[in-house]
Amino acid sequence: MKNKNIVIIGGSSGIGKSIVEMLKSEGAEVFEYSRSMVGDFQLDVTSDFKEIKTLPDTIDGLVYCPGSINLKPFHRLTVDQVKEDLEVNFLGAVKVLQACFKGLKQSSSSSVVLFSTVAVSVGMGFHSSIASSKGAVEGLVKSLAAEWSPLSIRVNAIAPSLTDTPLAGQLLSNDDKREAAMKRHPLGRFGKPEDLAAAVSYLLSGSSSWMTGQILHIDGGMSSVRGV
């Protein structure tokens, strides 16, 4: 990662914070954006923006981390709540990708990493809004991977299962919930931010230089393995 300019959107907590810490330890020049002023620069992905003035001229890697967990029965979801999930998970990514496109083209080999969810590939009750918005992300990944491959811009996504972050705090708020969450995963535990940060580091590195348009399932086996 040395001498690489990596833009992280949503790097102030949880998975994003772990990504920032890991990439810095690997020698990357990290440009961190968050809605709060915890990071290097402030950016609200739900705002109406077309450019990000503080971006480096050359962007070797872009990671979009903002997400939401809005779990409700479908009949109780309002259209506005669905729009909010789309704004954070999908439309924010669209705006960031368009703003970063010029810088990504300047790199000899750039890599984009977005985040999906295991709930896109595995039907889960109460996940209709988040699964729909993340499903749009997966479609975007495959389309952009095709469109940008002649420019040597790789586009991939990571689809995690439940990960121990502040965003998932309500789902892991006591010992009973944590125990139940561990039992649901074939590998016997829920995710840690470091699990996802390691996958991001791989997708940004030259080790994954022949990979694009892929959805990497880092989910404790949830999407493909039935526990015994």
* CA angle in degrees (0–180, nearest 5) for 163-130-83: 135
What's the one-letter identity of residue 189?
R
In whole angstroms, what separates CA 32 from the centre of its chain? 14
pLDDT at 36: 82
Instruction: Provide the greatest CA pair distance for the chain.
Output: 52
Any residues with CB less than 8 A from the CB of 210 and at least 6 apart, and which? none
In whole angstroms, what separates CA 71 from the centre of its chain? 18
SS3 helix, strand, coil % of the chain, rounded to 5?
Answer: 45, 15, 40
Q: Give the pTM.
A: 0.94
C-alpha span between 151 and 188 (Å, rounded): 41
pLDDT at 106: 98
Domain 5-216, CATH class in plain words:
alpha beta
Local structure of 163: helix, strand or coil: strand
Any residues with CB less than 8 A from the CB of 222 and at least 6 apart, and which? 118, 122, 161, 184, 185, 186
Per-residue pLDDT of the chain (228 residues; tens, 9 = 90+): 899 999 999 988 899 999 999 999 999 999 999 998 677 899 999 999 999 989 999 999 999 999 988 899 999 999 999 999 999 999 999 999 999 999 999 999 999 999 999 999 999 999 999 999 999 999 999 999 999 999 999 999 999 999 988 887 788 889 998 998 899 999 999 999 999 999 999 999 999 999 999 999 999 999 999 866
What's the one-letter identity of residue 49?
F
The dihedral through the CA atoms of 9, 13, 16, 22 has a sign that is positive
Terminal CA-CA length for the chain: 40
